[in-house]
Homo-oligomer: A and B are copies of this chain.
């Protein structure tokens, strides 16, 4: 029997909620050996960033070729740069039985949902909007109008939560990590994912029994 296909795990949530921090904490220990899906981008690499680890750094031409070839699960343009999710590595890893972990913006996650509805979509939510405002405000020196605009955007994104499977509130990074790991491990225990394996065992047992009779 072929090995069981891995799970595609998509972690998303509004800007400022702490997706990157939670993802980094998960991969610091990575006790369940998730494979991180590295994005492709046309932006310049920053000091310390490694090609193929933090991002695949590609030229604009190369990126547009990926778009033409339908080789991206989703992509978007921010501030003049492309960002996208290459499909091939994900497919290879899932086929090999590895769980693939994707950390992505809300709009991107919804595009992934359309292409791979069988993924596990986890929405990282702030403890409450007041707290999110504090986090956004704490980041810099944005004026009141800009903060209001960002909060409106957060509201819109939170309302897209219903297209996800699970919601994890990011109150403490450590708890959020634990919850995300719980979700993924329990998804592996769903009946439809193990039923074939167990039926094969029954078949084997009774076949052997009949032969020895």
Contact with B along A129-160 (1 / 0, CB 8 A): 11001000000000000001001000100110
Q: A206 and B155 in contact (CB under 8 A), knowing A182-B186, A186-B186?
A: yes
Q: Number of contacting residues on A, CB 8 A?
A: 38
Q: Give every chain B residue within 8 A of A125 (Cβ-Cβ).
A: 198
Q: Which of A4-12, A91-99, A187-195 contacts its partner?
A: A187-195
The answer to whether B190 and A165 touch across the interface, beta carbons within 8 angstroms, is: yes
Q: For A123, list chain B residues within 8 Å (CB).
A: 191
Closest chain-B Cβ to A154's Cβ sits at a distance in Å of 9
Question: In the assembled complex, which residues on chain B have CB atoms less than 8 Å from the CB atom of A130?
Answer: 205
Beta-carbon contact of A198 and B161 below 8 Å: yes
Report the nearest B residue to A168, measured CB to CB: B189
Would you call A3 an interface residue if the criterion is a C-beta within 8 Å of the partner chain's C-beta atoms? no
Q: Report the separation of the CA atoms of residues A148 and B133 in the bound assembly, to the nearest whole angstrom.
A: 65
In the assembled complex, A43 has its CB within 8 A of some CB on chain B: no
Contacts A123-B191, A189-B179, A205-B130: A198 and B158 contacting too (C-beta < 8 A)?
A: yes
In the assembly, what is the distance between CA of A40 and CA of B206, in Å?
A: 36
Instruction: Looking at the assembled complex, report how far the CB atom of A131 sits from the nearest CB atom of chain B, in whole angstroms.
Output: 10
Taken together as a complex, chains A and B put the C-alpha atoms of A182 and B158 apart, in Å, by: 25
Q: Which residues of B contact A128 (CB under 8 A)?
A: 201, 205
Question: Beyond A129-B201, A167-B191, A169-B194: 18 further Cβ-contacts under 8 Å?
Answer: A129-B204, A148-B209, A151-B205, A155-B202, A158-B198, A158-B202, A161-B198, A166-B190, A166-B191, A167-B189, A167-B194, A167-B195, A167-B198, A179-B186, A182-B185, A183-B186, A186-B186, A186-B187
